[in-house]
Structure 1
Amino acid sequence: MAKQSAGILLFRRKGRGLEVLLVHPGGPFFAKKDAGHWTIPKGEYPAEEEPLQAAIREFEEETGYRPQGQFIPLHPIKQKGGKVVLCWAVSGNLDADAITSNTFTIEWPPRSGKQRVFPEIDRAAWYTLAEARQMMNERQTAFLDELAAIQDK
């Protein structure tokens, strides 16, 4: 069975129009990667956890902000590696410069015997839909299309 993640696409309306919050993965593997590597805040969850509750928990763990409101289910997508991502859109606002993320520990540099701690998410930013398409994982752009269609109604 394919791995599953659950996440939240936080959106707001500002002077530039509809904006979405994306996050950049922390740690050494993504340190020099930018466009194409941003994502919705998301994470894997155990089978016994309700996917929406997992999405809310993951969002809070990765940003320090607990989204609330009317959660709009979006169609799941499958990423290149086969992982299925479930997503809910919800209106909200947070200071992207003030996020606080949980951390993980890995041996770094490899085979050094040294353990280092890295934030799971090292930064967040608000993007217009056009900007987000350039910055995020290409498979996740389907979430933007669906959000735009819903917001245009």
Structure 2
Amino acid sequence: MTERQIRLFGDPVLKTVSDPITLTDDVTGLVEDLVETVKVPGRAGVAAPQIGVNQRAFSYNVDGEVGYIINPVIADLSGEPELMDEGCLSVPGFYFPRLRYPNARVTGQDLQGNPIELSGTGVMAQALQHETDHLNGKLYIDGLEKDVKREAMRLIRESDWF
């Protein structure tokens, strides 16, 4: 297992829709690296594109629970969307208010191809939506309100890492 470097905003892999993983793919190493990378304190989730891999998998680390899911699909979003401060490892140092559903459920597979389901509220719901967005080639800043996005883009362009 290896902690992998996080790709930053501007890297084309972050704007690319990820390929589904087939049961014949050997993705054990990918999953191990995703889990190791998300264990760094302060991380709630890491999607495969964030470590440069264009495949549909992500790991999560919420409330002490660490895990992964392969080929996740949003199965249910419920509740009234709420503005939540949100950040991203690929857009380091920034948090912006973003609308997210307070309840989320995703379905997918484990390494053996068995069906799994993840669900949650609060931070877990936010992470499930955020990481699934990554697999669809979307960053959280794409969903910001127009004026907030304009300011976010200005701040990102002025950052020392951009």
Pick the structure with more helix per residue. 2
The normalised TM-score by structure 2 is 0.25
Larger relative contact order (CA 8 Å, sep ≥ 6):
1
